[in-house]
Amino acid sequence: MPYLESLRVFVRVVELGSITSGGRDLRLTPAVASNRIKELESRLGARLFNRTTRNLSPTEVGKVFYDHARKVIVALEEAEAVVADFSDHPRGTIRVTAPLGVGRRIIAPLIPAFSDMYPDVDVRLRLSDRKVDLLEDGLDVAFVLGELKDSNFKLRKIADCDRVLVASPDYLARKGTPQSPDDLLKNHNCLLLRFPRSPEYFWTLQTEKGPRKIEAKGRFDADDGDVLTQWALEGAGIANKVRFDVAQHLENGELVEVLADTPPVPAAFGCLYPHRKFQDPKIRLFVDFMSGESRQRIAI
């Protein structure tokens, strides 16, 4: 068992890029995680990582060993899943990621209820508006908001979410209320969600002639959707948000919907997971539970 635990640590350290992150993911201190790596290197008689003060990367031997070690861990997880299916008692860890806003307001509040139903299943939630790689990051389930492109993963579509353009009353008093999509390009500061490889460099609005792409421009952007909401609340510009994310601000008048006749196209909300993962009862139960419950919360 200690050897398998060392393999798990090694795999997560490679995937997350640091001993601290790999250990934290497995709920181990950096010291314990580091000792597991040293024990593994001692057993193998080979150095698995190149270490500098700022960087940790697998050696050529480490890369080869990772490929095989990962297969061992996957095979073990699949064997445990089969046993759990027979016993009707799921156990183990589910690694989940979600966009920041959706994760905070929709996904995170549902996890305690799932945990109460299945107390032997641990859920580790990571929130980020950046694009993630399920396999490279060692994730089991990824909730996504936006265009659900074809991929090699299993896709469960949960709902279509209405989007709205919003701004504060103060901003509109200073800059004027846009009356048409063209007005967005003239005298308005669009608040943009951008990060490396971000696909959202334009807004697509629904018009009488069909979808129209607007090359929205703004003086600043962020890779955190909640930052855009805060900027909008502070009167900095116009934000493109899913309705449920700003529903409370619209209700209390802190934000106002603009261009309601030509709103942004809806954003699809769903989850992705590797095909083989659905054979694991804990993944299947989690996806079923979260899909049903989140759909109800989004329907506002």
Does the pLDDT at position 139 exceed 60? yes
Which CATH code, of 3.40.190.10, 3.40.50.11540, 3.40.220.10, 1.10.10.60, is assigned to 163-265? 3.40.190.10
Does the pLDDT at position 232 exceed 90? yes
Q: Identify which has the larger pLDDT, 274 or 176.
A: 176
Averaged pLDDT score across all residues of the chain: 86
**pTM for the whole structure:** 0.70
| CATH architecture of the domain with range 88-160+268-299 | 3-Layer(aba) Sandwich (3.40)
Question: Would you state the pLDDT for residue 86?
Answer: 59
Outline which parts of the chain fall under CATH 1.10.10.10.
2-85
Q: Assign 151 a pLDDT band (cuts: 50, 70, 90).
A: low
Does the pLDDT at position 223 exceed 70? yes
Mean pLDDT throughout 201-219? Answer: 88
Question: Would you state the pLDDT for residue 191?
Answer: 94
Dihedrals phi, psi of 47, to nearest 5 degrees:
-85, 125
Does the pLDDT at position 111 exceed 90? yes
**pLDDT tens digits, one per residue of 59-103:** 999 999 988 988 888 788 777 766 666 556 788 889 999 988 889
Q: Assign 296 a pLDDT band (cuts: 50, 70, 90).
A: confident
Outline which parts of the chain fall under CATH 3.40.190.10.
88-160+268-299, 163-265
Question: Would you state the pLDDT for residue 228?
Answer: 94
Share of the chain above pLDDT 90, in %: 37
Question: Would you state the pLDDT for residue 196?
Answer: 59
**Which CATH code is given to the segment(s) 2-85?**
1.10.10.10
Mean pLDDT throughout 209-224? Answer: 88
